[in-house]
Amino acid sequence: MLEKIKQLREIDKAKKIFLATIPFIILLMLYSLASTLRHQDNANDKILPSISQMADAFYIKAFVKDRRTDQYILWQDTFASLKRLAGGIFFAAILGIIIALHIAMLPKLDMLLSPFLIFISMIPPLAILPIIFIAFGVNELVKIMLITIGIFPIITRDLVLTIQKMPKQLITKAKTLGATQAQIIYTIILPQVTPRLINVIRLSLGMGWMLLIAGEAIASTEGLGYRIFLVRRYLAMDVIIPYVFWITLLGFLIDKTLYWISKNKYHWYCKT
Amino acid sequence: MKNTPLLEVDNVSQFYNNRRILENINFKINKGEFCTLVGPSGSGKTTLLQLIMGEQQAHTGNISMSGFPVKSPNIDRGIVFQSYALFPHLNVLENVMLGLNLQSRNNKVEHKLLLEKTFHYLSLVHLKDHAYKYPYELSGGMQQRAAIAQSLIIEPKILLMDEPFGALDPHIRDEMQVLILDLWEKNEMTVFFITHDLEEAIYLGTRVFVLSPYYQQKENKKSRNQGARILLDKKLSTHINSTEIKNSPDFFSMVSQIRNIGFNPKKTRLVDEFNTLHDQTK
């Protein structure tokens, strides 16, 4: 009996994986078809490079040292970009959680800051990008700052709502158990908000990547966004498309990792 | 000292948007009593509890614990809510231990003692085998037992319970009633227990209060804006640790008597007819 249930479950799993791969295969097939057709017309077509051409270009970027800089370009770009993304999100998370805890715990601060925060969060970060670059220069910190400015209002607002939605009875209970104000914040509220923070970070990763690529495109000497905008000048689609794919894959993996963390370390959060 | 009651509610009235909720509430609770407060839904039972907790301040009147006015929720008054209100990020052991941990200074010797104490309380509520489960993994009855242990462990002067068994299945509810009486007896607790279930109130209490807005101020005149009052304050005989008594004829007549007093909007009697000054001489 148990054996059979196990078998059925495995079949279900296989079915799930099979179905999930179908759209990817279709996309790949359509692309190959279009690429082949274009190459029949013009053997030197650069707009839709064949998959083997892209694999070659990607191989060179990833595993052949660049003669000019003596480095593996893909890894250099990836490392530079991830550092900025992580920095930007890290500062946004710290800023967001500090502001959110204070706003949620102090009603007067809520009145003072919340409307302002809602207003701020409506500013399209890309629109103030020139202001930031003009005011602060084009150094590394500014690219991190751009990401932070873009996503901290989202994180803050979401966490404030999460804390305000927490049952009031829990706070009362904590007080009857002798908790001080600081203990309420650090042992009752903060641990309950952490898994939500991970979720908001997952949701704002897309925005983070967008701001990263934009920042790198305008002022940088390395990074995934920089590379794409650099080789654009030579119509090097055989580099651009694998880079886009690589960025997408990285984003997907980061998302999956965060999901895995929240599912394992904060299993109670997913169940309530 | 002997004459100071543990909890004193002195002439308390409470309003909400100009509507009277509670009117001239007076009572004293002494150490060791198991007081149940019963009343129709919407009669202001939870408001009264929040006043005693210190979550709200009374508009008129005073509430004091051992002679000192009540300000905000603190360790003197433990609470058990209907919705359990366990901390979802802590397992049962951590939930029950929380009150001790919040006040300890985190040294290892002390930690071991606190852990022993926690396991003692877990065994009191029969949850020793579930110490490492999280609240979402427990049934309602188990969650409520954990919540009771959580409040009891810091030995509050009085335990306030707000419809604690209201969300449980009838047979689990009977079990819980026996359990709480057992704990009350063993730990010499003082309990203030709110419920809308008459049978529960009569079965559990050594003293039962009826809180209700169904009364007349003057003959043939029922004011629209009148708050709930305590219409009955009755001492009850102590009970056996079994729910069998609920089937006895005495028990039935008591239930119908109280239903007539507090739960019937049509049969309103004059306020003077009631024992609102709480003579305990009867």
Describe the strand order of the beta sheet including B229-235 as a list of residue ranges: B77-80, B158-162, B191-195, B34-38, B207-212, B229-235
* Chain A: residues touching B (Cβ < 8 Å): 167, 169-170, 172-180, 183, 187-188, 191-192, 266-269, 271-272
* Domain assignment present for A173: yes
Please check whether residues B164 and B231 belong to one and the same domain: yes
Residue A46 banded pLDDT, cuts 50, 70, 90: confident
Residue type, A144: I
Question: Which stretches in chain B have pLDDT values below 50?
Answer: 1, 279-282
DSSP SS3 for A72: strand
- Judge if ipTM > 0.90: no
Across the range A234-259, mean pLDDT stands at 94
- Lowest-pLDDT range, A43-47, A184-188, A257-261, B53-57? A43-47
Interface test with B, best of A173, A265, A266 (most B CBs within 10 A): A173
CB contact under 8 A, B136 and A176: no
CA dist., res. B186 & res. B155, Å (int): 12
* Domain assignment present for B62: yes
Q: How many domains does chain B have?
A: 2
**CA neighbor of B189 nearest in space, from B231, B220, B160, B221:** B160
Instruction: Quick: pLDDT tens for A139-168.
Output: 889 999 999 999 999 999 999 999 999 999
Instruction: Give me the domain span that covers residue B28.
Output: 1-76+158-282
* Domain assignment present for A62: no
Please check whether residues A107 and A158 belong to one and the same domain: yes
* Domain assignment present for A31: yes
Model confidence at A249: pLDDT above 90: yes
CB contact under 8 A, A177 and B150: yes
Please check whether residues A26 and A94 belong to one and the same domain: no
Give the pLDDT of residue A228.
93
Backbone angles phi, psi at B208, to 5 degrees: -120, 130
Across the range A196-208, mean pLDDT stands at 95
CA dist., res. A10 & res. A17, Å (int): 11
- DSSP codes joined into one string, chain B: -TTS-SEEEEEEEEEETTEEEEEEEEEEE-TT-EEEEE--TTSSHHHHHHHHHTSS--SEEEEEETTEEP-S--TTEEEE-TT----TTS-HHHHHHHHHHHHS---HHHHHHHHHHHHHHHHHTT-GGGTT--GGGS-HHHHHHHHHHHHHTT--SEEEEESTTTTS-HHHHHHHHHHHHHHHHHHT--EEEEES-HHHHHHH-SEEEEEES-EESBTTB--SS--BEEEEEEE-----SSGGGGGSHHHHHHHHHHHHHHS-SSS-EEGGGS-TT-----
- Alpha-carbon gap: A203 to the closest alpha carbon of chain B (Å): 22
CA dist., res. B35 & res. B235, Å (int): 9
Give the pLDDT of residue B280.
45
Please check whether residues B181 and B129 belong to one and the same domain: no
Q: What is the mean pLDDT of chain A?
A: 92
Question: How far, in Å, are A85, A127, A134, A143, A254 from residue A131 at the CA level?
Answer: 20, 8, 5, 13, 30
Burial class (CB in 10 A: 0-12, 13-18, 19+), A99: buried
Model confidence at A208: pLDDT above 90: yes
Please check whether residues A36 and A146 belong to one and the same domain: no
Instruction: Give me the domain span that covers residue A165.
Output: 72-271
Instruction: Quick: pLDDT tens for A222-238.
Output: 999 999 999 999 889 99
- Alpha-carbon gap: A151 to the closest alpha carbon of chain B (Å): 27
CA dist., res. A26 & res. A33, Å (int): 11
Spell B162-175 as b/e; 16+ CB within 10 A means b: bbbbeebeeebbbb
Please check whether residues A95 and A160 belong to one and the same domain: yes
Please check whether residues B170 and B265 belong to one and the same domain: yes
Q: Which of B79, B134, B151 sits opposite A268 (nearest CB)?
A: B134
CA dist., res. A171 & res. B154, Å (int): 17
Instruction: Report the CATH number that the domain containing residue A244 is assigned in CATH.
Output: 1.10.3720.10
Model confidence at A264: pLDDT above 50: yes
Please check whether residues B163 and B43 belong to one and the same domain: yes
Please check whether residues A94 and A209 belong to one and the same domain: yes
Please check whether residues B57 and B144 belong to one and the same domain: no
Beta bridge partners of B68: B65
CB contact under 8 A, A176 and B81: no
Structure token pair of residue A92? 């946004």
Instruction: Quick: pLDDT tens for B234-273.
Output: 888 766 556 777 878 888 888 888 888 788 777 666 665 5
By C-alpha distance, the chain B residue nearest A265 is B89
Query: In the 8-state DSSP scheme, what is residue A125?
Result: G
Which residues of chain B does A178 touch, with a Cβ-Cβ cutoff of 8 Å? 74-75, 99, 102-103, 154
CB contact under 8 A, A178 and B74: yes
CA dist., res. A255 & res. A261, Å (int): 10
Q: Is B53 on the interface with A (CB under 8 A)?
A: yes
Last residue of a domain, one of B155, B178, B201: B155
Give the pLDDT of residue B1.
46
* Domain assignment present for B279: yes
- Sorted by sequence, the CB contacts under 8 Å of residue B2 that are 6+ apart come out as none
Please check whether residues B115 and B188 belong to one and the same domain: no
Give the pLDDT of residue B238.
67
Q: How many domains does chain A have?
A: 2
- Alpha-carbon gap: A269 to the closest alpha carbon of chain B (Å): 7
Last residue of a domain, one of B139, B155, B171: B155
Give the pLDDT of residue A89.
96
CA dist., res. A252 & res. A205, Å (int): 10
Beta bridge partners of B158: B77
Please check whether residues A224 and A264 belong to one and the same domain: yes
Total residue length of chain A: 272
Residue % of chain A over a pLDDT of 70: 100
CA dist., res. B96 & res. B122, Å (int): 8
Please check whether residues B214 and B270 belong to one and the same domain: yes
CA dist., res. A143 & res. A218, Å (int): 10
